[in-house]
Amino acid sequence: MRYLSLSSLILLFLLFSCKKDDHPRQGPDHEGNGQGQEPPVNTPGAPNLPATLYDYVNTVNNMPPYMKAFLAGRTDLDNTPTGNPITNAGATLGRVLFYDKNMSVNNTRSCGSCHHQDKAFTDGLAHSPGFDNQLTRRNAMMVVNQRFFGAKTMFWDMRAANLETQTTMPILDHIEMGMPSLAALETKLSGIAYYKPLFKAAFGDEIVTAPRISLALSQFIRSIVSFQSKYDQGLASNLGNLSADEKNGLRLLQVNFCTECHSDLATSQYGQLPSFLIADNTGLNTGIGSNNGLEADYTDKGIGEITHKPADQGTFKIPSLRNVALTAPYMHDGRFATLEAVMEHYNHGIKGNPNLGIQLGAVAGSGVPLTTKDKSDIIAFLKTLTDEQLISDPKYADPFK
């Protein structure tokens, strides 16, 4: 039955592709991601999918030996639940759901509207426009390597317990996608022909349910991994492919304790090769602080808004530095437009706060002492974390383009 359903899926995809070519899309690319024109409002076309499904199951296998060894020793970081392993059919359905503007109440927004592949799945904006062009409260976070976040919690304030919970929350958000209920979404998608074979291939029958939508979206997002940067490629040669400036930038990140928060503690010290996975200091204040000195008294309380604990006021989930050169603007509110501005903040803009991270506590009110050359070298290293393969991989691209 599995193979028959996939065969039926392929035939229907080909039919839909032919039909799509008869009705070309019109109108400007409002998302500004350089990937072609978007469909007119209220008439999203059918997805253009390959005859042979992309391989999502094995995306984690194409990584440097060092990273494989690291993850083998930190199995706690893989948050894939036993009840939702990645399958090629499930992630394919998830990809279509991720980019389908039918997921919003007026067919104008999808998950991909705020998470563009060419920007490492951010959108280049401080705040993102929702279905009626109201702006989101916070900056769109990158959705890369979410599989390897052991704490599981999602969003800047970590309010979602896991990825499966997170995936449907923007759909119901009154600013983001505006669907009145998950039941309404189920009814809507059930009436769209191309979802019938997709759900059958992924789950064995055509029934559209909110839990299945969540499972498929989670599978697709967990398949989006990034371990093919210049830095990753250099791990096998002790970073022999990096320039002296880039190596010094890494050294500065380590001696100034940046890697304690933006990587794992075991390899954070100078002379080691950090994973740059958020493994230990996730953003929660465990007693050593996790505030990064943006404000003395935060208007946006972050994690503290959820926990109501004084220790969590003004703390936020720590973002990954992987692909950071592509994910401007920076911080939870997108206040810094460039990496240079971020360096200036840590150089002399840190403000005192009761929850300031211990890594910054000694310099509260001033900053980390960095010369102009230091800041330049750090930025040079950060650019080695860019994964060009990630941003051009067709299995992560918008199938409606």
Query: Mean pLDDT, the chain, as a whole number?
Result: 89
- CB 117 within 8 Å of CB 296: no
User: What helix, strand, coil percent values describe the chain, rounded to 5?
Assistant: 45, 5, 55
Give yes or no: residues 206 and 291 share one domain.
no
Residue 399 inside a domain? The answer is: no
Give yes or no: residues 194 and 257 share one domain.
no
Give yes or no: residues 9 and 151 share one domain.
yes
pLDDT mean over 29-43:
37
Give yes or no: residues 44 and 94 share one domain.
yes
Give the residue carrying structure tokens 């109108």: 27
Q: Mark residue 135 as left, alpha or beta (left: phi above 0; alpha: psi -120 to 50; beta: remaining).
A: beta
Q: Other CB atoms closer than 10 Å to residue 107's CB: what's the count?
A: 18
Give yes or no: residues 138 and 171 share one domain.
yes
The three-class DSSP label of residue 82 is: coil
Alpha-carbon distances, residue 370 vs 96, 244, 313, 378, 397 (angstroms): 45, 17, 28, 10, 39
pTM (two decimals): 0.88
- CB 220 within 8 Å of CB 95: yes
Backbone dihedral angles phi then psi of residue 163, each to the nearest 5 degrees:
-65, -40
d(CA 384, CA 233): 10
d(CA 61, CA 371): 40
pLDDT value of residue 25: 32
Last residue of a domain, one of 227, 242, 271: 227
CA 113 to chain centre: 13
d(CA 368, CA 5): 59
d(CA 320, CA 323): 8
Give the residue carrying structure tokens 């304690």: 260
Residue 20 inside a domain? The answer is: yes
Give yes or no: residues 198 and 135 share one domain.
yes
Residue 214 inside a domain? The answer is: yes
Cα torsion 226, 315, 377, 345: sign: positive
Cβ neighbours of residue 301 closer than 8 Å, sequence gap 6 or more: 312, 313, 314
Q: Which residue has the higher pLDDT, 37 or 139?
A: 139
Give yes or no: residues 179 and 234 share one domain.
no
Residue 9: is its pLDDT beyond 80? no
pLDDT value of residue 359: 87
Residue 396 inside a domain? The answer is: no
Give yes or no: residues 31 and 123 share one domain.
yes
Residue 246 inside a domain? The answer is: yes
pLDDT mean over 307-319:
96
Give yes or no: residues 214 and 321 share one domain.
no
> Measuring CA to CA, which residue among 110, 106, 200, 129 is closest to residue 400?
110
d(CA 126, CA 139): 5
d(CA 222, CA 149): 10
pLDDT mean over 380-396:
98
Residue 1: is its pLDDT beyond 80? no
The DSSP element (H or E) to which 123 belongs, if any, is: none
d(CA 27, CA 187): 28
Residue 103 inside a domain? The answer is: yes
Backbone dihedral angles phi then psi of residue 399, each to the nearest 5 degrees:
-75, -5
Residues pairing with 135 in the sheet: 129
Give yes or no: residues 345 and 279 share one domain.
yes
Which segments of 55-176 are extended strands (E)? Answer: none
Residue 184: is its pLDDT beyond 60? yes
> Measuring CA to CA, which residue among 87, 330, 75 is closest to residue 200?
87
Residues pairing with 160 in the sheet: 154
Residue 390 inside a domain? The answer is: no
Last residue of a domain, one of 176, 197, 227: 227
Residue 25 inside a domain? The answer is: yes
Amino acid at 359: Q
Domain tally, the chain: 2
Domain CATH number, residue 343:
1.10.760.10
pLDDT mean over 317-337:
98
Give yes or no: residues 69 and 204 share one domain.
yes
- CB 208 within 8 Å of CB 183: no
Q: pLDDT band at residue 17, thresholds of 50, 70 and 90?
A: very low
- Which residue range(s) make up the domain with 210? 2-227
CA 331 to chain centre: 14
pLDDT value of residue 78: 97
Cβ neighbours of residue 231 closer than 8 Å, sequence gap 6 or more: 239, 242, 276, 381, 384, 385
pLDDT value of residue 231: 97
pLDDT in tens, 137-174: 999 999 999 999 999 999 999 999 999 999 999 999 99
d(CA 89, CA 102): 20
pLDDT mean over 203-228:
98
Give yes or no: residues 236 and 222 share one domain.
no
Backbone dihedral angles phi then psi of residue 98, each to the nearest 5 degrees:
-60, -35
pLDDT mean over 363-383:
88
